[in-house]
């Protein structure tokens, strides 16, 4: 489908994306771009990329340029790439926030060649070693501001994601960022905070972790996530994240108040309400 793909950033998302396309014969040649030579070497060794090149050379040779780097550097990077491309080339990103990026590209003469995507898949690991085969399957991929992109470009990107097993969801960038705060960003903050809660105690009580079972692991595993990826997400999505965080703290205060006042009837109700999540989660 594509002769040559450039991935900007060679990590969890772009590496898994490249493997998915290679495995399905959707791309002949993959070029990696990164400011970290060790990551490029690792990506070559793992077969995530066929070649490492400087940005300008890579873009010149590619039909599709896929950007998956921290969201703060995504904005200038995508603009820079958009300044380099010609008519037949498509640029897409995989960032966890969309408003700042879409705003920054609104006036760009090549805007139609850009497709804003957020595949709702990831793990708590990062770097080229974190890339896995058969990623993305069964999850949603959000496409933002579809109407600002060339329909043919959107169709190609959707086709790829569908072959990777994703289903498409369309929304504007602002709605995306609000939703992402609720179903992804807050989960990371609660995990980080829960890890800190228990690590604080562990200073005195080294036995705590010996007891950790599956429930604990499940709720804190996101606390292993890379701060240099997550800080820019929280910065760009600050207002939505603060809204959800305030709501979450007030929900926790309800549990606290029930316990303090021994209002167990209401505590039971709070848990029964939370059980409704069963209907929603697979």
Please, which residue, 59 or 141, has the CB nearer to a copy of itself?
A: 141
Q: Shortest distance, CB of residue 251 to a copy of itself, whole angstroms?
A: 4
Please, which residue, 6 or 225, has the CB nearer to a copy of itself?
A: 225
Looking at residues 110 to 139 of the shown chain, list those that interact with a copy of itself (rule: CB under 8 A): 120-124, 139
Query: What gap in Å lies between CA 132 and CA 102, rounded to an integer?
Result: 28
User: Which residue of 1, 174, 182, 263 would you call a contact of a copy of itself, by CB under 8 A?
Assistant: 182
Instruction: Assess 161 for contact with a copy of itself (CB under 8 A).
Output: no
Q: Shortest distance, CB of residue 271 to a copy of itself, whole angstroms?
A: 4
The answer to whether 219 and 194 are in contact (CB under 8 A) is: yes
Looking at residues 236 to 255 of the shown chain, list those that interact with a copy of itself (rule: CB under 8 A): 238, 241-242, 244-249, 251-255
201 DSSP assignment: H
Candidates 99, 97, 64, 59; CA nearest to 80 is 59
Q: Shortest distance, CB of residue 32 to a copy of itself, whole angstroms?
A: 25
Looking at residues 49 to 78 of the shown chain, list those that interact with a copy of itself (rule: CB under 8 A): none
Query: What gap in Å lies between CA 137 and CA 223, rounded to an integer?
Result: 24
Looking at residues 205 to 224 of the shown chain, list those that interact with a copy of itself (rule: CB under 8 A): 205, 207-224
Please, which residue, 57 or 249, has the CB nearer to a copy of itself?
A: 249
- Both tokens of 224, joined, read 């292993």
Please, which residue, 29 or 139, has the CB nearer to a copy of itself?
A: 139
Sheet hosting strand 167-171, strand order edge to edge: 51-52, 27-33, 2-8, 64-67, 90-93, 114-119, 140-144, 167-171
Query: Phi and psi dihedrals of 3, rounded to 5?
Result: -75, -45
Q: Shortest distance, CB of residue 239 to a copy of itself, whole angstroms?
A: 9
Q: Shortest distance, CB of residue 177 to a copy of itself, whole angstroms?
A: 12
* Range in contact with a copy of itself (rule: CB under 8 A) among 20-28, 34-42, 82-90, 172-180: 172-180
The answer to whether 154 and 146 are in contact (CB under 8 A) is: yes
The answer to whether 65 and 91 are in contact (CB under 8 A) is: yes
Instruction: Assess 199 for contact with a copy of itself (CB under 8 A).
Output: yes
Instruction: Assess 256 for contact with a copy of itself (CB under 8 A).
Output: yes
Please, which residue, 109 or 227, has the CB nearer to a copy of itself?
A: 227
Please, which residue, 26 or 178, has the CB nearer to a copy of itself?
A: 178
* Range in contact with a copy of itself (rule: CB under 8 A) among 109-117, 126-134, 155-163, 183-191: 183-191
21 burial via Cβ count (<10 Å: 0-12, 13-18, 19+): buried
Query: What gap in Å lies between CA 110 and CA 193, rounded to an integer?
Result: 42
Instruction: Assess 100 for contact with a copy of itself (CB under 8 A).
Output: no
Query: What gap in Å lies between CA 18 and CA 30, rounded to an integer?
Result: 7
- Both tokens of 43, joined, read 């990506």
Residues binding a copy of itself: what is the number (CB under 8 A)? Answer: 93
What distance lies between CA 92 and its chain's CA centroid? 13
């Amino acid at each position: 489908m594509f002769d040559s793909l450039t991935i900007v950033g060679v990590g969890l998302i772009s590496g898994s994306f490249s493997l998915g396309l290679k495995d399905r014969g959707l791309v002949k040649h993959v070029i990696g771009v990164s400011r970290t030579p060790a990551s490029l070497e690792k990506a070559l060794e793992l077969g995530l990329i066929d070649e490492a090149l400087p940005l300008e050379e890579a873009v010149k040779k590619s039909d599709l340029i896929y950007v998956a780097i921290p969201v703060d550097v995504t904005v200038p990077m995508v603009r820079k790439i958009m300044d380099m491309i010609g008519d037949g080339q498509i640029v897409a990103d995989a960032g966890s926030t969309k408003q700042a990026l879409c705003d920054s590209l609104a006036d760009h003469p090549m805007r139609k060649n850009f497709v804003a995507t957020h595949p709702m898949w990831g793990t708590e690991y990062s770097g080229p070693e974190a890339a896995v085969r058969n990623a993305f399957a069964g999850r949603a991929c959000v496409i933002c501001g579809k109407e600002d992109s060339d329909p043919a470009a959107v169709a190609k990107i959707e086709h790829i994601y569908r072959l990777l097993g994703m289903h498409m969801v369309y929304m504007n960038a602002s709605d995306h960022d609000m939703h992402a705060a609720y179903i992804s960003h807050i989960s990371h903050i609660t995990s980080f905070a829960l890890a800190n809660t228990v690590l604080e105690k562990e200073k005195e009580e080294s036995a705590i972790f010996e007891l950790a079972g599956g429930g604990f692991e499940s709720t804190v595993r996101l606390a292993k996530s890379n701060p240099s990826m997550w800080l820019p997400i929280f910065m760009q999505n600050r207002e939505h994240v603060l809204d959800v965080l305030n709501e979450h703290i007030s929900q926790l205060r309800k549990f606290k108040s029930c316990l303090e006042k021994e209002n167990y009837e209401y505590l039971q109700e709070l848990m029964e309400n939370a059980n409704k999540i069963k209907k929603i989660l697979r």
